[in-house]
Amino acid sequence: MTTPDDIEHMILRVGLGERDAFEALYSATSAKLFGICLRVLKDRTTAEDVLQDIYLRLWRGGAATYTAGKASPITWLATIARNRSIDKLRQIRPTRPLEDAPEVADPALGPADLAEAASERTRIFACLDELDPDKSAAVQGAYLNGDTYADLAARFDVPLNTMRTWLRRSLMRLKDCLSQ
């Protein structure tokens, strides 16, 4: 089985321009990333384009920006896949405000071994469960569907500022829960 350590090695070797590693990294991670692209974009052709762009960027120096031992390499890749997909989504949905999804900066959590990453995963869901279902759905919807405050305000039929106050409170509750 491919472990996070294996993936990390692959990323570091891709950063050095090693072709074998690029192929291995693709084999090990492309299904995971394609699933994310497809979930965000809901269109196979576009998701394929974004997936291609992600791996090309990794090859062209993106992999060299990965810092070993900080966040899990899967977390790093998943964030790239999600952010690139959201970027694309906003490009092709011209009715929405054109905004860039946040760039992936250097992940700054402590060393994450598999167990830690797993507990991290369950923790966010446990904390989301503590929110009102509406708010939990809004947070996850923003993350995976690219909903902005404007979209959410329209959907819930409330003023934008009300929506914002609502979600900021939810984020603070999440933060409290996550730091416990």
Residues that bind other proteins (CB under 8 A): 17-19, 22-23, 26, 30-32, 34-36, 38-39, 48, 51-52, 55-56, 59-60, 71, 74-76, 78-79, 81-82, 86, 97, 99-109, 120-121, 123-125, 139-140, 142-144, 146-150, 152, 164, 167-168, 171-172, 174-175, 178
**Which residue lies nearer to other proteins by CB, 157 or 176?**
176
**Which residue lies nearer to other proteins by CB, 122 or 157?**
122
Q: Which contacts qualify for 37-43: CB closer than 8 Å, 24 or more apart?
A: 37/81, 37/84, 37/85, 39/144, 40/82, 40/85, 40/86, 40/89, 40/144, 40/145, 40/146, 41/85, 41/88, 41/89
Q: Is the dihedral of CA 144, 147, 152, 154 positive or negative?
A: negative
Cα separation, 93 vs 96, whole angstroms: 6
Query: At its nearest, how many Å lie between other proteins and the CB of residue 9?
Result: 17
**Which residue lies nearer to other proteins by CB, 11 or 86?**
86
Query: At its nearest, how many Å lie between other proteins and the CB of residue 14?
Result: 10
